[in-house]
Amino acid sequence: MENADSTNAAAMAAYMKGNFPFVGIKTGLRRDVQKEILLKHKKEIQAEARTVALQLYNLPQREYHYYAIEILIKELHKKFVPNDIDLIEHMLITHSWWDSVDTIAKYLLGGYLKQYPESITTVIEKFSGSENMWLNRSAIIFQLGYKKDTNAKLLFSLCEKHRLSKEFFIQKAIGWALREYGKTNPEAVKNFVNIAQLKPLSTREALKNL
């Protein structure tokens, strides 16, 4: 690839604990390249966003995964179809790490469930009950952008359900989700944390700015 940089690639792979190979394109340049590609192939990408994104996501290098996610965030915004949940789940459990999962959970899963609120119970019960830790995390954080529309009862029940998890990424997700909702309803979060007996990491994260 024209913009590949082996030095950057090595550093980026190390930052991600060696979980993925990288081309070595930093975010700013990557997005400039993406803009050029979009301008050149705009109609094809818009018409076949899901197919293009899935093809990119199946490639090994991490930069392609980022581009796939960004294509879907842009092209599916308020234009999801019911079976997009299958694509979202596939992406959450494939090439999984916090950087992809958190973005997918907030913008794709969160956006999908805003468009199809009648699916929240079914989807979140499935994800929160899964043996896949990344689906559990996604269920906890999908409301990150909901603010006043957050279903607090659901959020607190999910935090309660996973409060004893020994997984770092679950403890962190609980604290993060509560901290974000605390910007909208700090008293509710404080009251919940006071009685929930969360893990110390979750408690620290939840109360960090309160």
Yes or no: say if 51 and 76 are a contact pair by the CB < 8 Å rule: no
pLDDT of amino acid 196: 97
CATH number for the 109-210 domain, one of 1.25.10.90, 3.30.360.10, 3.40.50.1820, 1.10.10.10? 1.25.10.90
Domain boundaries, the chain: 109-210
Which amino acid does the sequence have at 200? P
Report the alpha-carbon distance of residue 203 to residue 124 in Å, rounded: 23
User: How many other C-beta atoms are found inside a 10 Å radius of the C-beta of residue 4?
Assistant: 13
pLDDT of amino acid 57: 97
pLDDT of amino acid 2: 62
Task: Collect all residues with Cβ–Cβ distance below 8 Å to 79 and sequence separation of at least 6.
Answer: none
Which amino acid does the sequence have at 62? R
For the record, the structure tokens of 197 come out as 């007996």
Task: Collect all residues with Cβ–Cβ distance below 8 Å to 103 and sequence separation of at least 6.
Answer: 69, 73
Which amino acid does the sequence have at 65? H
User: Which stretches of the chain drop beneath a pLDDT of 50?
Assistant: none
User: How many other C-beta atoms are found inside a 10 Å radius of the C-beta of residue 156?
Assistant: 20
pLDDT of amino acid 1: 54
